[in-house]
Structure 1
Amino acid sequence: MNRPTAPSGKKAPNFAQASLLPLQKAEDCCHQAEPVAEPSAAARPAGNARYSWKVQGMDCPACARKVEVAVQQVAGVTQTQVVFATEKLVVDASEDIRRAVEDAVHKAGYALSVDGAAPQPHTAWREYFPLALITALMGLSWGIALFSPVGGKAAFTITTLAGLWPVARQALRQIRAGSPFAIETLMCVAAVGALFIGATAEAAMVLLLFQLGERLEAFAAARARRGVTALMALRPETAIRLRDGAMETVPVAALRPGDCIEVAAGARLPADGRLLNDSASFDESALTGESLPVEKSRGDGIAAGATSLDSKALLEVTSQPGDSAIDRILRLIEEADARRAPIERFIDRFSRSYTPAIMALALLTATVPPLLFGAAWSVWIYKALALLLIGCPCALVISTPAAITSALASAAQRGILIKGGAALESLGRIRQIAFDKTGTLTTGQPQVTAIRTFSTYSEAQVLTLSAAIERGSTHPLAQAIVRTAEERQLVLPNAEQQRTLAGIGIEATVNGERLRLISPARVPVTLLRAEEQALVQSLEAEGHTLVILLTGETALGAVALRDTLRSEAPAALAELGELGIQCIMLTGDNPRAAAAIADTLHTQFQAGLLPADKVDAVRKLSAASPLAMVGDGINDAPAMKAATIGIAMGGGTDVALEAADAALSHNRLNELPALIRLARATHNNVRQNIAIALGLKAVFLVTTLIGFTGLWLAVLADSGATALVTANALRLLRRKKQG
C-alpha cells in the first residue's frame, strides 16, 4: 500500500564517497563482468600484491598491535593493517609471503584463516581451562594453608607455577614476535618475583586476576565483532532475476548493473537498484534510522537492505557485487576503526619501561656495591631481593582492573553495558555528545498528534473513518491511526472494496460512502479553503506527516502524525549541560522536523545527513574535543566508530549495539549523565590507585637503599598497597544510582 512520505522527502542513501575498494565497471548490462576484489594499483606501491586473512584469538586492540608487529618483521612485507572490529589482517607485499605471515602470526600466539572462509571450530574449554584450573587450585591452597602453613605455601607455589605456564608461554611468543615487554612479560616478572621472596599466595592471586580479566575482555571483544556481521543479514543470499521474460533465482554475487530483479512484498533488496514501477513504498529504517516509510517513484534509487512494502517491486540493479550500500557501510565501519589508534591498556604501556627498569635496578643493587666498593654480597643481595619485591607490580597490576571491574559492575546495576576499560576511560574524557534523532531522542514510532476537521464531521468521526480504511494494513502510518482509534475505544465500521492508489494513498467504501485517505500533495488545491491550506502548511512546517480524508470532492478532515520526543530527553540533556557536556543532534530528517525537536531540547542540530555525512560531522566535532555518538540504527554505526566512543540505545539494531562501546540496555537517556559521572569517578579512582601503588614503592625504594627498611617491611608495603588499592576501587560499587 502506498503512503505519503514524511515531509523530509528523504532520498535513498548515497554512499559512493564512502567506497574504499573501487570495483571494475561492468562491460555490458546484460553480461556478467568479474569484479575486481582488490584495490587498484594506484592504491598501493607498484608490484605489490594484497593478501587478507581473518585473525582468531585477539582479545583487545593491543592484540591487533602485536599481530601487526609480528607481521611487519616478515621479509617482503611493505604494509600491514589489522582491523580489530572485523578481525581482518591485510598485508601488502612485493612477493608471495602467505606462508611466512601465517607462521609469524602463529608464533605470536594467534591463528589465521583465509578471509571469507569458515572460521576454525571454537574450543571454549581451551580458553577457560587455565582460569578454571588456577581457580580450583587457589581454593585448594587456601584450604591447605588453614591447617598447615608450610603445606599451604607449597600449594600456593604449585598453583602459581600452574597458572604461570600459559602466561609464560605467551610471553615467550611475544618476545620472539618483537614485543618483549607485553603485559604477559609483566605478569611473569610479578609472579616469579613474588615466589622468589616467598609471597606465594600473592603470586597466585595476581595470575588468577589476570586470567579472569583476559577472559572478560575476550568475551566483550567477541560480542563486538559478532555484531558487525549482522549487516549481512539485511541482504538476502539469492535474488529473482528477470531475463528474456523468464524468472530465475540466482546468487546475489551474480547480479550485475542493468539486471532486472523482482522483490516480493516484505522482502529486502539484494542490491542497490532503480525503481521500474510507477511507484512503491519502502521501509529504509534499517539503513536510515527513520521510522516513516518512504514513497518512491519510477527512476528513484533504493539502497540494498530496504524492505518493499505491500506489493512486489521491479528494479534495475545499479551496484556492482560487493559494492552495495550495506557493503559500503561495513567498509565505513572498518575505515573508522582503522583511523582510531589502538587503545593499549595502561599497564601494558607502562610495563615496557617499568619492568626492565626495576629488574636492572635490582641487578645493579646486588652487584655494584660488592664489585666496586667491596661491600658484603649477602647484605646487598638481601637489599636487591627487597627491591625486587617493591618493584613487584602486584598492586599496580590490580589498581586499574580493580577500579574498572567495580565500575563495570556498578554500571550493570544501572542497566548500562560498557565494553571494557578502554571505553570507560574514554567516557571520562568526553566533552561533547552527538545524538541521532529517530529512536534515540525520539521513540522511533509514528503517533497521531492531531486531528483536524474541515466539515461538520467531528474529530472522532474523522478518526473512525480513517482507521476503518486503514484497518488490516501493516503500514506504520496505518497502524498508528488504527492504534489511536482503539485506544479511544472507537467502534470501527467495516470497510469494503479497499484499493491502493499508487503513489497517492488508499480508498475504500465505508457505510456505502466512497472515501479516500491521501497525501496533501495529491489533494487538488480547489478542495481546500485558504485557512485549511494554511493549517496543512503549518503542521508540515512543524515536522508532521499528514493524510487528508476525502469523500467525493469534499475534504472531511486531516490526521497528523509525528515521531514523539522521549519523555526523559529534555531533562537528560539539561543535566548533561550542567556537567559541561555540549550536546548536538545529527539526523537524516528534514531541517523543519529537526528544528522542532532541537528547539524543544535547546540544543544545536545538523539535518539532512546521510551516514557518510554523519561520519564527516563526527570527525570534525571530534577534532575540537572528545565526542561520544549516541544512536540506534545501522546508519549510526559508522559514526559511532568514528567518534571517540559510541553509545547505543538498547532497543536499537544489533549492528548499532555491537558497533558501540557502550549501550543503554533500558533505553533511558537519563542514564547518560550517571554514566558520565561514573566514568569520571573511575578515571579519578584509577589515578588514585596508581598514585598509591607507585607512591608507596617510591618511598620504600629509597628507605631500602639507605638501609632503613628490609625485606619484611617491603612485603608489608607491597601487600598494604594491594589492600589499599582494592579497597579504594570497591568504593565505586557503593556509588548510588543517580538520575
Structure 2
Amino acid sequence: MSDAAPLDRTERPPTRLRVSGMDCASCAAKVETAVRRLPGIEEIQVSVATETLTVRHGPGTSAGSIAATVRGLGYGAEDPDAVPVAGGLDAPWWRAPKSLLAFACGAALVLAYAVGHAAPATERWAFLAAMAVGLVPIGRRAVSAARHGTPFSIETLMTVAAIGATAIGATEEAATVVFLFLVGEVLEGVAAGRARASIRGLTGLVPDTALRESGGATERVPAASLRVGATVLVRPGDRVPADGTVVEGESAVDEAPVTGESVPRRKAPGDAVFAGTVNGDGALRVRVTAAARDNTIARVVRLVEEAQEAKAPTERLIDRFSKVYTPAVVAVAAWVAVLPPLLLGAPWDEWVYKGLAILLIGCPCALVISTPAAIAAGLSAAARRGLLIKGGAVLERLATVTTVAFDKTGTLTEGKPVVTDVVTFGRPERDVLSLAGALESGSSHPLARAVLAKAAEAGAPVPPAFGTRALGGKGMAGKVGGLDLFLGSPREAAARAAFTEEQAAQVSALNDLGKTVAALVVNGALAGLLAMREEPRADAKAGIDRLAVEGIGAVMLTGDNALRAKAVAGALGIEARAELLPEDKQRVVRELQAGGAVVAKVGDGINDAPALAVADVGIAMGGGTDVALETADAAVLHGRVADVARMIELSRRTLANIQANIAIALGLKAVFLVTTVLGVTGLWPAILADTGATVLVTANALRLLSVRLG
C-alpha cells in the first residue's frame, strides 16, 4: 500500500438519486448507458434493488443534467433523502405513472370499441386515438433510449410493431397490443416491488421509539437516537428497539421475526437480544451494543441490497447473450417480412404481419429478468432466515459445494466447557458441587463458570468460602465451614491426597475421552472428580446428518489437541484434523480442493480468516469476529449448524429456479416463433407470450420467498 496515491480530501461527493420505475436489469442497463455518455462521468453504480443511482463525475456535469437524462428515459429521478424508501411508505402500485398510463390506455380502448360499434365509419380513427394514448409515451422513451445509446430497447420493438401493424390495416390489433404491453409493464413493476419490499420489510420490525433510562427515570425517545451504552427498558409485549445485552430481568423472547425460530428463547442477564424481536412475559433492562444503523436488521438489509448487485455467472452470461439476441431478433423479423414476398412472391401484408409479431416475440424482458429475479428472491429469502449471502455469484457457488470444513470451538461447539461427569468418593454429589462451587464463586474463568452452572442445575447451594487463593496454574485453595479445600488438576491433587488405583484409573478414563478433569480434595482426602468438555451444539449432529443427506461430506479443522478434537468429532460422526495453526487450516482446504472437492469453510475466529479466504465459499458463524465476517462470502447470523445445510439447499433451489425461468422464457418464445411463421398465431399472442413469460418467470422466482427449508 506504500505506493498508493494519497487520498484526495477535496474529491467531489458523488451525486445520488432515487430512480423509480426500474423493474429489471435491462432498465438499469439503459440508465447506465445513458448517464455514461454524459461528459466527465467517472464511475456509475445503478441498483435495481435499492432504486438508486450513484455517479462520480467532474465539475462539468451537474446533478440536474443527470436527473434530466434519467427522466428522459421515462424514469423518476429524485433526491433519495427527500423521498421515503422504506417498505410500505411508497405510493401504492395503482398510483404509479405506468399504472395510470395503462388505465388511461385501457379506458381509451374501451371507448374506441364503443365508438366503432356506434359509428363503424370512425372505427379506424377511434382505435388510432386509443393506440396513441399509450404509444406516444412509449415512442418518446424509445427515441430517448436510442439517442442515449440503446437503440434496440423493448420500447423500440414495441413502437415499430405497433406502427407497422397500423400501416397494414391492423389498427384494432395494434391498439390492443399497446394496451397489453402497458399491462405487462405494470405487472413487472408490481412483482419487482414485492421482491424489493420483502427485504425492506425487515426494517419495519424495529419499533420507532424506545424507553431509555436516564437519571433514574425512563423517557420515550426515537429508537434511531439510541447510542451504544444506553440502557433501555423493554416491557412484556414490546419489540426490542436495538441490539443489546440483558443487564437485568428474565423473559422468553420471540426471535421468529429475525431468526425464523418458532420457539421463544429464554433470556437472562448476559444474554444477547436482537432489534425487532418480541419480549414475552417479563420486563428486561437492556444495554445497547449497536447503534440503529449497525443493528442486526440494518446490517442484513444493507448487505443483502449490496449483494443483489453482485451478478451471478449465469446472469452475466444472459446479459451478454441478450446484447446479441435482440439485434438478431430484429434481423430475423426483417428477413421474415421481406424475403418470402421478394423471393417467392408471397403476399406482403401476410409476411409483414408475421415479421411484426416476431419482433414482439423477441422482446428480451423475460429472458433478462429470469436470473436476477431468482437471485434477488433467493438472497432475500436467505436473509429473512438469518443467512447472509454476499451476492449472486456466491449463491450459485454454494450449490456446487461437496465438502464443508468446520471449525470446532464456537462453530460445532458452543465455545464453552460444561461439566459432563461428577464422580464422588464418600460424599453426595450435591456436597461435592457445593464445595467446588464455593471455591470457584466469583471467578470468570470458563471452567469456573462450568462448575457453578452444574451446581445451579443440580440445585446445590454454594456456601461462602474464606481465604480463597489461586495457586499459579495449579488450582484453587480455601476454607468452607472449617474444611480445607483444594480444587485443581489431578496431578496437584495427588500431591495433597493419595489416589487409589481405582481413582487413578477413573482419571485416566476421563482424560481418554478428551475431558478436562478437576479433582476436589477435602481435608487431605480425595472427595470427587469433575470432568469438563466442550460439547457439540444441540443441533450440530442434525446439521451434519442433513449435509450427508444432501451428499455433502464434513470435516473438522481445529487448533485444539487431538484427544479433545477426536471426542467431539466422534460424537458427530465426522473426521477431525487437530492441532492446526491458521496456515495449516488454509493448507488443508487447498489439499481438499486439489482432490477435486468444492469446499465451504465455516468458522468464527480470526484464526479462520486465511482458510475462509481460500475456500470456494467462506461462511462465518454468528457471533464471530468482524475479521471472519468481512473475509467470508456468507454468514450464518444465528449460529445454527443446520443453517449451513439450509443455505446450500436454498442455493440449489435457486439454481433450479433459474434454470426453470430460462426454460420458460426461451421455450415460450420458441413455440410462438414457430406458430407465428406457420400463421397460427398473430400479434396478440405474441405480446401475451412476452408479457406472460415475464410474469411467469417473476412469479416463479417469488416462490423462493416462501420456500420451506425445514
Which category describes the TM-score, using the shorter chain as reference length? 0.5 to 0.7
The aligned runs of 1:321-720 (5 Å cut-off) are 343=313, 345-346=315-316, 347-362=318-333, 381-404=352-375, 407=378, 416=387, 418=389, 421-453=392-424, 455-520=425-490, 522-523=492-493, 527-529=497-499, 531=501, 532-551=503-522, 554-623=525-594, 624-650=596-622, 652-653=624-625, 656=628, 660-664=632-636, 667-705=639-677, 707-720=679-692
Per-residue deviation at 1:668?
Answer: 3.8
Per mean C-alpha deviation after superposition, the further-off stretch among 472-481 and 669-678 is 669-678
CA spacing shift, 1:124–1:578, aligned 2, 3 Å: farther
TM-score computed with the length of structure 1 as normaliser? 0.58
Equivalent pair of 2:191/2:698 in contact (CA under 8 Å): no
Q: Secondary structure at the match of 2:544?
A: helix
Residue type of the alignment partner of 2:617: I
In the alignment, residue 200 of structure 1 is paired with which amino acid? Answer: L
Cα distance in 2, alignment partners of residues 508 and 170 from structure 1: 84
Tell me how far 1:495 sits from its aligned partner: 1.1
- 1:660, CA displacement in angstroms? 4.8
Over aligned residues, Cα RMSD in angstroms?
Answer: 5.7
Match of 2:183 among 189, 201, 212: 201
Q: CA deviation at 1:99?
A: 9.7
What displacement does 1:470 show? Answer: 1.1
Indicate how the Cα distance of structure 1 residues 127 and 460 shifts in structure 2: closer, same or farther if over 3 A, else same. Answer: closer
**Which residue of structure 2 aligns with residue 6 of structure 1?**
none
Q: Deviations over 1:404-462 (max 9, x none)?
A: 55555665676655555444333322222222222322222321112234x53443322
Find the aligned partners of 2:198 and 2:142 in 1 and give their Cα distance. 16
Query: If you compute each CA radius of gyration, which structure gives the higher value, 1 or 2?
Result: 2
Q: Measure the CA separation in 2 of the matches of 1:484 and 1:653.
A: 29
Q: Secondary structure at the match of 2:580?
A: coil
Displacement of 1:360: 4.2
Q: Which amino acid aligns with 2:575?
A: Q
Deviations 1:678-710 (A, max 9, x none): 433332232122112102212323443455543
The 2-side partners of 1:425 and 1:441 are apart by: 25
Partners of 2:627 and 2:81 in 1: how far apart? 25
Q: Which runs of 5+ in 1 are unaligned?
A: 1-37, 72-76, 83-97, 110-120, 221-336
- Paired with 1:637 and 1:155, the residues of 2 have a C-alpha distance of 63
User: Alpha-carbon deviation of 1:468?
Assistant: 0.5
Partners in 1 of 2:136 and 2:199 — Cα distance?
A: 23
Q: Secondary structure at the match of 1:571?
A: helix
Query: Which residue identity lines up with residue 602 of structure 1 in the other structure?
Result: G
Question: How far has the Cα of 1:488 moved from its partner?
Answer: 1.1
Judged with a 3 Å threshold, the aligned counterparts in structure 2 of structure 1 residues 688 and 61 are, in CA distance, closer, same or farther, namely closer
SS in structure 2 of the partner of residue 692 of structure 1: helix
Q: What percent identity do the matched residue pairs reach?
A: 41
Contact conserved, 2:585 with 2:611, CA < 8 A, in 1?
yes
Q: Map Cα deviations across residues 461-520 of structure 1 (whole Å, 9 max, x no partner).
A: 222111011112222221221121112111222112333333333333222334333334
Separation of aligned partners in 2, 1:615 and 1:156: 65
For residues 8-50 of structure 1, the C-alpha deviation after alignment (integer angstroms, 9 at most, x for no partner) is xxxxxxxxxxxxxxxxxxxxxxxxxxxxxx25x8xx9xxx999
CA contact (8 A) 2:496 2:524 kept: no
* Amino acid across the alignment from 2:363: C
C-alpha distance 151-363 of structure 1, shift in aligned 2 (>3 A): same
Provide the rounded CA distance (Å) in 2 between the counterparts of 1:460 and 1:160. 86
What is the rounded CA distance, in whole Å, between the counterparts of 1:674 and 1:668 in structure 2? 10
- For 2:690, the aligned partner's letter is D
1:52-79 superposed Cα distances (whole Å, 9 cap, x missing partner):
999998999999xx99xx99xxxxx9xx
What CA deviation, in whole Å up to 9, does each residue of 1:553-612 have, x standing for no partner? 554433221111223322332232232111111222222111111222221222223344
Q: C-alpha distance in 1, partners of 2:191/2:161?
A: 15
Larger mean Cα displacement after TM superposition, 488-497 or 424-433? 424-433
Number of residue-to-residue matches in the alignment: 540
Between the aligned partners of 2:605 and 2:514, the Cα distance in structure 1 is 20
C-alpha separation in 2, matches of 1:478 and 1:384? 82
Does the CA contact (< 8 Å) of 2:337 and 2:355 recur in 1?
yes
The CA distance in 2 between the partners of 1:167 and 1:650, in whole Å, is 49
Contact 1:433 1:581 in 2 (8 A): yes
After superposition, the C-alpha distances for 1:195-231 in whole angstroms (9 at most, x for unaligned) are 88621222344456557767889999xxxxxxxxxxx
Q: CA contact under 8 A between 2:411 and 2:604: conserved in structure 1?
A: yes
| C-alpha distance after superposition, 1:103-145 (max 9, x if no partner) | 9xxx999xxxxxxxxxxx9848497899869774155456657
1:221-247 CA distances to partner (integer Å, 9 max, x unpaired)?
xxxxxxxxxxxxxxxxxxxxxxxxxxx
What is the distance in 1 between the residues matched to 2:157 and 2:465? 78
Cα distance in 1 for partners of 2:144, 2:508 equals 72
Contact 1:206/1:394 (8 A) holds in 2: no
Query: In the alignment, is the contact (CA less than 8 A) between 2:438 and 2:465 conserved in 1?
Result: yes
Following the alignment from structure 1 to structure 2, what is the Cα–Cα distance between the partners of residues 604 and 366? 67
Contact kept in structure 1, 2:612 and 2:631, CA below 8 Å: yes
- Where 1:580 maps in the other structure, the secondary structure is coil
Contact 1:193 1:392 in 2 (8 A): no
Q: Distance between the aligned counterparts of 2:617 and 2:17, measured in 1?
A: 20
SS in 1 for 2:556: strand
2:312, 2:394 within 8 Å by CA — same for their partners in 1?
A: no
Give unpaired runs (5+ residues) of structure 2.
19-23, 37-41, 46-55, 68-78, 113-126, 164-176, 203-306
Report 1 or 2 for greater relative contact order, CA contacts < 8 Å, sequence distance ≥ 6.
1
Contact 2:141 2:155 in 1 (8 A): no
What letter corresponds to residue 658 of structure 2 in structure 1?
V
Aligned to 1:233: none
What secondary structure sits across from 1:392 in the alignment? Answer: coil
| CA distance in structure 1 between the partners assigned to 2:614 and 2:139 by the alignment | 38
SS in 2 for 1:345: helix
Given that residues 189 and 392 in structure 1 are in contact (C-alpha distance below 8 angstroms), is that contact kept between their aligned partners in structure 2?
no
The amino acid of 2:598's aligned partner reads P
Contact 2:475 2:487 in 1 (8 A): yes
Q: Is the 8 A contact 1:618 1:639 kept in 2?
A: yes
Q: TM-score, normalised by structure 2?
A: 0.60
User: Which deviates more, 188-197 or 729-738?
Assistant: 188-197
Q: 2-side partners of 1:537 and 1:165: how far apart? A: 85
Q: Structure 1 residues 515 and 593, CA, compared in 2 at 3 Å: closer, same or farther?
A: same
